[in-house]
Structure 1
Amino acid sequence: MTISDQPQACDVAIIGGGAAGTLAAIGVLRAATAALRVVIVEPQLPLGRGVAYATRHPEHLLNVPAGKMSGFPDRPDDFLDYLVEQRAFPQLQRDALARTFVPRLHYAGYLRRRLQQAVDASPAQLDVRAGRVVALERHADGVVLQLDSGQPLLAGRVALCSGNALRPLPARGAGAVAAGKRVEAWDFDAVRGIPTNADVAIVGSGLSMADSVVSLAAAGHKGHVHVLSRHALLPLPHAAGPAADYDPQPLLAMPLRQRLRMLRRHAAEAALRGIPWQNVMERIRPLGQALWQSLTPDDQRRFLRHVVRYWDVHRHRIAVPVHAQLMELRRQGRLHLHRGRLETVVAEGACVHLVALDPRRCPFQLDVQCVINATGVEMRAQAMRNPLLQQLLGSGIARPGPHGIGVDSSADGSLLDAEGVADARIRVVGSLRIGTLWESLAIPELRVQADDVAHRFV
């Protein structure tokens, strides 16, 4: 690989070098049979990190056991093979390692290793540009990408893998709170840098909150941690036990309410047989996208309004050791859970005052020294503060996805313009497809999409 600052034309341009972009590049390189030129444009090097795998801290664990984290649909044990090759956990036998929730920091290294191997074995050439794509124009002879350096790049085909954006803190006054008193959960070093005796409020109770809590604990934090969210639902853990054996296919023909009743029934029946509810959810894991797409638009809106947070905590579970750590901090009286909607955030002297409304719309206040924004992934493309997405939407090259979530794409991932016309030269991979697919953030979805794009581009 070479880091290139010179303008050039290319056969394939990949916008974004996180997990999705790196997997797409590996797929193209492996599929290539001729001397193609492939360019990845990514502002935050090294490749393979993105948001999820940027952490360098060992307390941040994968939320899925190592044996299920392969980056390639045709090589289900590939990540496990990598860990064994690297002797990352020499004390563990292969079977035990497959069941282990390993630190996330290993995953970016895995992706880069497989990328380098693909480069070495491919007739194609890979260049990496340290920069950001700020605009895109379609021409008869290709797609022109404008980089923040001012240099254009002409590409025959483009994979849009721009990754995740953090929601802003949803409260009046939040923007006026100084850095240090207001920290983003995805800024892992800043979270670790919070004074150990400070009382902290974390806004949001999902996966980013769990990362923040374990970071604070690893840094020796002794203060109180207040978690504030609208539903006050903590992430739930994985569980061992027998596999559930019911047929999930009939769920696809049911409306939303009936599906929920049926899943509760399956969970109750499984419990009588000693099968945890987590394994009931595992049975619908391969159907996540089909379950979303088979809902009517009205039922999709009901899901987003009433069900989404319950789906998240049951479907997107956390590593067992992380859940145990959260429960122990609650038992010690150091982790406090508050249900409410955040209204205002005001810094005054050494304190940050948060005012929220409880479910009865009665105000209550939390006084802390620092607030962490852990509100999670922004799903609305217009709100992502991404110059490229703003330009695509503003020019009509793209349109918002269903319910305003992500950008719209066809069944094969082709970008749809404002008139609903697909451009097969531009394919969307990953979180921007969430409106059409819903399940489009995790490695099982990314590896399939990246593989599909590679074979369509080469």
Structure 2
Amino acid sequence: MTVSDQTQACDIAVIGGGAAGVLVAIGVLRGATRALRVVIVEPQLPLGRGVAYATRHSAHLLNVPAGRMSGFPDRPDDFLDYLLAQDAFPGVEREVLARAFVARHHYAAYLRQRLQQAVDASPALLDVRAARVQALERHAAGIVLQLDAGPALLAGSVALCTGNALRPLPARGASAVPPGKRIEAWDYDAVQDVAASADVAIVGSGLSMADSVASLAACGHRGQVHVLSRHALLPLPHAQGPAADYDPEPLLAMGLRQRVRALRLHAAEAAQRGIPWQNVMERIRPLGQALWQSLSLDDQRRFLRHVVRYWDVHRHRIAVPVHAQLLELQRQGRLHLHRGRLETAIAEGACVRLGALDRRRQPFQIDAHCVINATGVEMRAQAMRNPLLQQMLGSGTARPGPHGIGIDSAPDGSLLDADGVAEPRVQVLGSLRIGRLWESLAIPELRVQAAQAAARLLPPQG
């Protein structure tokens, strides 16, 4: 890959047009004081959707109340202000709306409006390229991005916001199950197209499973739903109640086992005072990254082997109505939880037969008309099936993050190459930083990363 006469120049390139990429672009546009050229490269338009906010279905709710979903650290009520200005919920008072879990499609629209406002007010120019970045190479003149459509880009600096990738269905034979019988949970329209009378198997019991069940219920689904996962733990709900007031700072000096014991003790003490355990978890929310980084590598590995699923259901909670829907379907005998490890997926006639092993390694089967892959976010960069990341890792421009999770980055977000040398012209955001930060997926983290990245990407503007 070389710099040629056909290469187009820009000051800043943003790879990915989901929430993180749009927030970076907004920060750059707001911070620009001259006519910079900013390019967002995103194959799936419109912008602002990504995986989380691509759904158009009103049954898919944000997992955080509207009052805490601002895209900007310095404007904590911005999303709430947007909803009120749009009159999205006529007659609902501000205080009530702040506590509400609203449909996720509102957030995508919010990001696009704020981006357009930033474009209108900025001396910088924004160009959106409907393409996929295939390769990234460093040059003295800048960062060259090879696209799958159109000329290459020569950027002064780059924000790497590739977003989330879905884990493949972890079963032998899965690739041979035909479309329509094998559905990705993030293909929201395909989930809604499932026949109302069909029996459905969902692999994975986390947030993507909850989305799939909500979609099926909204379409009048009447069949049986079988949920298979290794722990068979449903997502837990948010709760109202008094705030927990213990000091979380001592947790930072503890090992993993001590922390687990301490949190259980805090939860028990809070319960005696009428404080829900959810608010105990909220107390450590600002320390999420520090808690991960202060663990030894051995304790991080223990966490990934033994604790992560329990952390997920307590930390990544769902809206109360969604949780109530899951419990009601269980009560009706229509939603069944199966604990086991998926081994095989085989299409047989009109059905799909899943073979699994229970905790005693005894085999069992689940027969359904289709299987939905809701296994969640792929964390291993080598397994993300992303040509750009494969090229960067293969060329040594990047290296895997700790434990093989994501790609590695410096504390300021700069890309680290295979030798551990920082490339400040490339800022890494979001799920790619999980190995270093752990908490790096949700809007509270993304908005801070985006604001910091925008400030670092802007060229000197004297």
**TM-score bracket, shorter-length normalisation:** over 0.9
Could you say which residue in structure 2 is the equivalent of 1:3?
none
Aligned to 2:422: 422
SS in 1 for 2:96: helix
Letter of the structure 1 residue corresponding to residue 251 of structure 2: L
Report which stretch shifted further, 141-150 or 366-375: 141-150
> CA contact under 8 A between 2:156 and 2:425: conserved in structure 1?
yes
SS in 1 for 2:415: strand
Give me the identity figure in percent.
81
Deviation of the 1:91 alpha carbon: 2.3
1:150 Cα deviation after fit: 4.9
What is the DSSP-based 3-state SS (H/G/I as helix, E as strand, rest coil) of the residue aligned with 1:202?
strand
Deviations 1:132-185 (A, max 9, x none): 000011000100000001521000000000000000000000000000000000
Asked if the contact 2:12/2:39 (under 8 Å) is kept, the reply is yes
Residues 66 and 102 in structure 2, CA contact (< 8 A), matched pair in contact too: yes
Match of 1:173 in 2: 173
For 2:234 and 2:252, how far apart are their aligned partners in 1? Answer: 28
Partner residue of 1:12? Answer: 12
Deviation string, structure 1 residues 339-394 (Cα, Å, up to 9, x no partner)? 00000000010011001000000000001100000000000000000000000000
Deviations 1:93-122 (A, max 9, x none): 010000000000000000000000001111
Conserved 8 A contact 2:157-2:457: yes
Please state if 1:453 is matched with 2:453.
yes
Deviations 1:29-83 (A, max 9, x none): 0111111110000000000000000000000000000000000000000000000
Q: Which residue of 2 aligns with 1:41?
A: 41
- The whole-number CA distance in structure 2 between the counterparts of 1:425 and 1:456 is 8
Q: Which residue number corresponds to residue 359 of structure 2?
A: 359
Is the 2:8–2:151 Cα contact (8 Å) retained in structure 1? Answer: no
Equivalent in the alignment of 2:152: 152
SS of 1:420's equivalent? coil
CA deviations on 1:309-354 (whole Å, 9 max, x unpaired) are 0000000000111001001000000000000000000001001100
Unaligned regions of 5+ residues in structure 2, if any?
1-5
3-state secondary structure, aligned to 2:325 = helix
Distance 1:140 1:45 in 2: 32
Misfit runs of 4+, over 4 Å: none
- TM-fit CA distance, 1:197: 0.4
Aligned to 1:294: 294
What amino acid does structure 2 have at the position aligned with 1:119? V
> TM-score of the superposition, structure 2-length normalised?
0.98
Aligned equivalents of 1:40, 1:300: Cα separation in 2: 35
1:441 aligns with 2:441: yes
Q: What's the CA shift for 1:7?
A: 5.7
The answer on whether the counterparts of 2:14 and 2:161 sit within 8 Å (CA) in structure 1 is yes
Task: Kindly state the Cα deviation for residue 90 of structure 1 after the two structures are TM-superposed.
Answer: 0.8
C-alpha separation between the residues in 1 aligned to 2:89 and 2:149?
A: 42
Deviation at 1:8, TM superposition (A): 2.3
Alignment of 1:237-252 (within 5 A): 237-252=237-252
| C-alpha distance in structure 1 between counterparts of 2:203 and 2:7, whole Å | 43
- Aligned residue identity for 2:302: R
Q: Name the CA distance, whole Å, in 1 between partners of 2:150 and 2:394.
A: 20
Residues in 1 aligned to 2:230 and 2:341: alpha-carbon distance in whole angstroms: 5
Distance 1:150 1:419 in 2: 32
Query: How is 1:35-434 mapped onto 2 (pairs within 5 angstroms)?
Result: 35-434=35-434
SS in 1 for 2:38: strand
Query: What is the aligned residue count?
Result: 453
The amino acid across from 2:421 in the alignment is: V
Q: In the aligned structure 2, how far is the partner of 1:182 from the partner of 1:285?
A: 36
- Could you report, residue by residue, the CA deviation over 1:401-453 in whole angstroms, capped at 9, with x for unpaired residues? 00000000000000000000000000101110000000000000000000001
In structure 1, what residue type is equivalent to 2:236? L
User: Which residue number corresponds to residue 3 of structure 2?
Assistant: none
5+ residue gaps, structure 1, are: 1-5
In 2: Cα distance, 1:34 partner to 1:298 partner: 49
Give, as a single letter, the amino acid of the residue that structure 2 aligns with 1:40.
I
Equivalent-residue separation in structure 1 for 2:393 and 2:351 (angstroms): 40
**Is contact 2:207-2:235 (8 Å) kept?**
yes
Q: What is the match of residue 26 of structure 1? A: 26
Deviation at 1:219, TM superposition (A): 0.7
Given residue 212 of structure 1, which amino acid in structure 2 is its aligned partner? S
Q: 1: distance between equivalents of 2:14 and 2:195?
A: 40
Letter in 1 for 2:425: R
Amino acid at match of 2:240: A
Deviations 1:178-218 (A, max 9, x none): 00000000000000001110000000000000000000001
